[in-house]
Amino acid sequence: MTRRRLVLTLAIALVGLQAGAAPRAKAPKNVILLIGDGMGFAQTTLGRIALGTNDATLRLDSMSHGGMVKTYPLDTPDKRVVITDSAAAATALATGHKTKNGMIAMLPDGAKLKTVLEAAQDKGKRVGLVTTVTISHATPAGFGAHVPSRGQETDIAAQYLDRKIDVLLGGGEAMFVPQSVAGSKRKDDRDLLAEARRLGYTVARTKDEMDRVHSGKILGLFAMEAMKTEPPEPSLAEMTAKALDLLGSNKNGFFLMSEGGQIDWGSHANNGPMTVKQMLDFDAAIGVALDFARKRGDTLVVLTADHETGGLALVGATAGTTAPYSMAWGSKGHSATVVPLLADGPGAELFSGVLNNTDIPKRIAKLMGLNLN
Ligand SMILES: [Zn+2]
């Protein structure tokens, strides 16, 4: 090579380096998507304040990248809609498509939408759903079922088994037991617990039973309806740890969605102490996910919310009290405000800035080489 050609080659290489300045994201083998139902910026601040000092940090504070997420659903034909429910939001976060409030992984015309969980399964990854509400509730349902109405929880439960989702942990046994059982929500005689066992699941109803499972598929239902989120039930952190224990050994990797499902409920009730407890329980689960991911280096953790609930503002204390602040609730419902986005691990840089909720599964799919169509 002549000196002139060498100089030219070097110059081209340098230009090439500059043009490619945006680093190519490293592909994660595993993705953990954490969803705080109803967790707006104020709910995270409330959790931090509750720790007692102004420099206290939540586990989520240590995540390396972040931004905010727009949550609006699809408009109805006659009306603009700016406030989402958990069903449309879960559909967006799972499939990359906006839909009407109330619908689960389906467009208004009834077309089923492929979810990131299903796409991960197609690639040989193991998959799991964890929550503190019923496992058939809107947020997990958006990832593992397709129904026109979120109220069809008994159908959602059956679809999870059809899908052979490897890990299902939460509440909602009422959706799985036949109508003859007290408290059942089924309108038929199907016994989904027996069906699950025939499909190879271990069924667990207590923390001890859950702890004894070390391989295979698990269906853990720790309450007839939503969990109480108190011992002797397993905590969200303990369920998330078990899910990671079971999914983490798969050579092809895994996708896990774990939901703090009752931050929303505390905020619907404008109940400060309940919102704080649920926020801190969720943060403990976030810590479990981060510890797992950082030890391995091959796992992306993405954290967001489906929407904010309660229109919570943390404002000056009311006169005559010694508290440093007071909670002002703007609503008993959801609000339209953007919600937090945080990420950590390989590919985390793709989860920064202002994203739409539909961008999140698209970016997860791109990083994992999944086909969402
Ligand atoms: Zn809600």
Which CATH number belongs to the domain containing residue 208 in this structure?
3.40.720.10
CA of 268 to the centre of ligand 1 (A): 7
Mean pLDDT taken over the chain: 94
267 is catalytic: no
In this prediction, residue 373 carries a pLDDT of 83
Query: Is 130 part of a structural domain of the chain?
Result: yes
In this prediction, residue 8 carries a pLDDT of 54
In this prediction, residue 21 carries a pLDDT of 47
Query: Is 268 part of a structural domain of the chain?
Result: yes
In this prediction, residue 330 carries a pLDDT of 97
Domain housing 339: 25-368
CA angle at residue 9 from 4 to 11, to 5 degrees?
A: 95
Query: Is 180 part of a structural domain of the chain?
Result: yes
Number of domains present in the structure of the chain: 1
pLDDT tens by residue, 140-186: 999 999 999 999 999 999 999 999 999 999 999 999 999 999 999 99
Q: Which residues of the chain have pLDDT under 70?
A: 1-25
d(CA 125, CA 349): 23
41 contact partners, CB below 8 Å, separation of at least 6: 308, 337, 339, 340
d(CA 349, CA 299): 13
CA of 29 to the centre of ligand 1 (A): 32
Query: Is 2 part of a structural domain of the chain?
Result: no
In this prediction, residue 244 carries a pLDDT of 98
CA of 21 to the centre of ligand 1 (A): 42
Q: At what angle do helices 359-368 and 86-95 cross, to 10 degrees?
A: 30
CA of 134 to the centre of ligand 1 (A): 14
Residue 210's nearest CA partner among 200, 194, 195, 221 is: 221
Bridge partners of residue 41, in order along the sequence: none
Query: Is 116 part of a structural domain of the chain?
Result: yes
Taking phi over 0 as left and psi of -120 to 50 as alpha, with beta for the rest, 10 belongs to: alpha
Query: Is 105 part of a structural domain of the chain?
Result: yes
Our measurement of the distance from residue 102's CA atom to the centroid of its chain's CA atoms, rounded to an integer in Å, reads 17
Query: Is 228 part of a structural domain of the chain?
Result: yes
Neighbours of 212 (CB within 10 A): 10
pLDDT tens by residue, 50-65: 999 999 999 999 999 9
In this prediction, residue 9 carries a pLDDT of 55
Largest interatomic CA distance in the chain? 87
Instruction: From the candidates 62, 64, 86, 335, give the one annotated as an active-site residue.
Output: 86
Query: Is 12 part of a structural domain of the chain?
Result: no
In this prediction, residue 20 carries a pLDDT of 46
In this prediction, residue 321 carries a pLDDT of 87
